[in-house]
Chains A and B, each alone.
Chain A
Amino acid sequence: MPATASPSIEQLESIARTLRTHALRAIAAANSGHPGGSLSAAEIVTALYFGGVLHHDPKNPEWPDRDRFILSKGHGVPILYAALAERGYFPVEEVMTLRQVNSRMQGHPVQGMTPGIEASTGSLGQGLSIGIGHAIAGRLNGKHFRTYVVLGDGECQEGQVWEAAMCAGNYELDTLCAIIDYNRYQLDGAVEDIQSLEPMRDKFAAFKWNVLETDGHDVQAVLEALQAAQEHRGRPTCIIAHTVKGKGVSFMEHNNEFHGKAPTSEQLQVALAQLHGSQESGVRAQGVSG
């Protein structure tokens, strides 16, 4: 199934707000989850799922020719559940059962349980390796699907990320694209204070990757980077997407208190009001096809 026609940038921005709304409402309902890293990835996920980038079929999640999407930073999964629901993999109402017993909306992604989830993640550092496996399988089978892996910046402190980076670079896996949600915080504080990743660009370049940097909240810019990645031959592409943890909600932005803490119901109301205006809160995105 080909990617659907791209909505306008304004529509995409609206979709990103809707995904944020779903994610926050689900996290608040669960009274558990990771708002900060969900919100920072909203435009990345929106660009991939709604910007005409991913070739996929919600009615046939196992379609062999589909593009693969792996959320290696599994704790950000509420934003992915929101996107998958809006894409029709399951009802939006189901997202609101996040983290409840008997729900498919597990606290971290679970392959084989939730339609559209390609890998079980949550133990950080593993998604890029899994992406390599898909990319190699595609090469062996003569398929042209692409594999996208979203990593957290803190996650890149894991050694396995660099095993995978070395391997993908040497194997010239140009169907593989890593996107780093570089929101500058990890659980215990600022990445720069805990274990700096800099110079990140140089690191991936040294591992033989095509490296792009973008504002991770500018959907147009993210789409352009993804397009450039798609056109690049001979090297995998790493998109360093500079983001803000908690983006879109004033009291969550740059506030690491909301790394892994749910908003109270009062905080949720304020957040929803900020995202959509009170009269619009919780309304499904308009004009989204597929």
Chain B
Amino acid sequence: MTTLSTVPYTLKIGRATREAYGDALLELGRKNRDVVAIDADLAKSTFSWTFGKHFPERFFNIGIQEANMVGIASGLASSGKIPFISSFAAFALCKGFDQLRMGAAYPHLNVKVAGSHGGISIGEDGVSQQSVEDVALACALPGFIVCIPADEVSMTAAVHAAAAHQGPVYLRLGRPKAAVVHEAPLDFAFGRAITVREGDALTIVANGLLVAQALVAADRLADRGIHARVLDMHTVKPIDAEALARASRETGAFVVAEEHLHYGGLGSVVAATLARTTPAPIEFVDLGDRYAESGKPDDLLRKYGMTADAIISAAESVLRRR
């Protein structure tokens, strides 16, 4: 349903990251009896049901009660469980925010939050279901790891990393099938960017679906002799400051691409980080300061400017500023 037309011909379309989440959670459940999953009536959409049907005694579909879900996770984690809670990102973060603040972030509990259908690429359902502020909200929770995997390979790794990490984690899952940009087994760690393309002319920093778009853009720029580095910055917090500083020294210009509002997402974090270490010109590819609308995912990403074309324009702008 998605970006088939706009991913590089060299990439294959894989599972949606939400589907990879469910599969990884199931695998995790087999290994660790303390893993418990809760969903708020979206289990078949978030794929937590993949876990739920195998482990009914450890799966709780609590109904449409996001605040309660987060609170329950807080209690479960306090009593030694590893709760993975899932819903649409828009609901988990917006409706559960105070509970995440009081019940997960402040006491730094082992609560794992999976926000599915992140960004505008959920498509037709429209703005109420499109999560465009979840990264900013999650980053505003002290101690949270905030991770937006690009594909099934990195999502699988991120789920296992989340379980191994002691503390709260936010994972953003996507609805559409996602191009596979990584090879398994992936050397993955939160806070460590993955270089998916080497280059020295500029650096494209992206996460989620925009990583594949960054690769398309890099291909087209390369055709013109402009060799862009592409970093999959899957973890927004903690950001890989070292990879950014190195990229700044070696390439001197940035495009940051994400499926999120302009304020408070990857772009803000990258800019704040570079400002303190190795300042360089940056252009931003994101939703801006507005909401989107209903439509096919590809149509929306085009209309709202989160495509390879938008990255190429941004690259041209930033290279003029260098």
Contact = CB atoms under 8 A, between A and B. Distances in A.
Interface stretch (A159-167, A250-258, A259-267): A159-167
Contacts of A137: 75-76, 78-81
B73 interface: yes
Contact of B74 (A64, A130, A138, A167): A130
A166 B64 CA distance: 11
A159 B76 contact: no
Which of A64, A130, A132: most chain B Cβ within 10 A? Answer: A130
Contacts, number: 108
A131 interface: yes
B57 to A, nearest CB: 7
B103 A130 contact: yes
Interface string B62-83: 1101011111111111111101
A129 B107 contact: no
A134 B99 CA distance: 16
Interface in A124-159: 125-138, 140-141, 147, 159
B102 A129 contact: no
B179 to A, nearest CB: 38
A120 B80 contact: no
Contact of B71 (A112, A132, A159, A166): A132
Q: Which of B67, B73, B83, B102 has the most CB of A within 10 A?
A: B102
Nearest to A133: B75
B36 interface: yes
Nearest to A126: B71
B65 A126 contact: no
Contacts of A111: 78, 106-107
Interface residues of B, number: 31
A223 B99 CA distance: 32
B106 A129 contact: no
> What class of interface size applies to chain A in its complex with B?
20 to 34
B60 interface: yes
Nearest to A130: B75
B102 A167 contact: no
A58 interface: no
Contacts of B70: 129
A120 B99 contact: no
A121 B106 CA distance: 10
A52 interface: no
Contact of B102 (A126, A133, A136): A126
A63 B74 CA distance: 18
B200 interface: no
A256 to B, nearest CB: 25
A133 B107 contact: no
Interface string B218-250: 000000000000000000000000000000000
Interface in A147-191: 147, 159-160, 163-164, 166-167
B182 interface: no
B71 A160 contact: yes
B260 interface: no
A164 B68 contact: yes
A110 B106 contact: yes
A134 B79 contact: yes
A133 B73 contact: yes
Interface string A254-289: 000000000000000000000000000000000000
B72 A167 contact: yes
A123 interface: yes
A118 interface: yes
A119 interface: yes
A136 B71 contact: no
Interface in B71-105: 71-81, 83, 98-99, 101-103
A133 B77 contact: yes
B308 to A, nearest CB: 43
A247 to B, nearest CB: 28
Contacts of A135: 75
B68 A163 contact: yes
A234 interface: no
B160 interface: no
A167 B68 contact: yes
Interface in A82-116: 110-112
B108 interface: yes
B197 interface: no
B15 interface: no
B285 to A, nearest CB: 36
B58 interface: yes
B52 to A, nearest CB: 15
A7 interface: no
Contacts of B79: 64, 68, 133-134, 137-138, 141
B70 to A, nearest CB: 7
A130 B67 contact: no
Give the top 3 A-B pairs by smallest Cβ distance, nearest first.
A133-B75, A129-B71, A137-B79
9 contacts: A120-B103, A125-B67, A133-B73, A136-B72, A137-B79, A137-B80, A160-B67, A166-B65, A167-B63
Interface of A: 64, 68, 110-112, 118-123, 125-138, 140-141, 147, 159-160, 163-164, 166-167
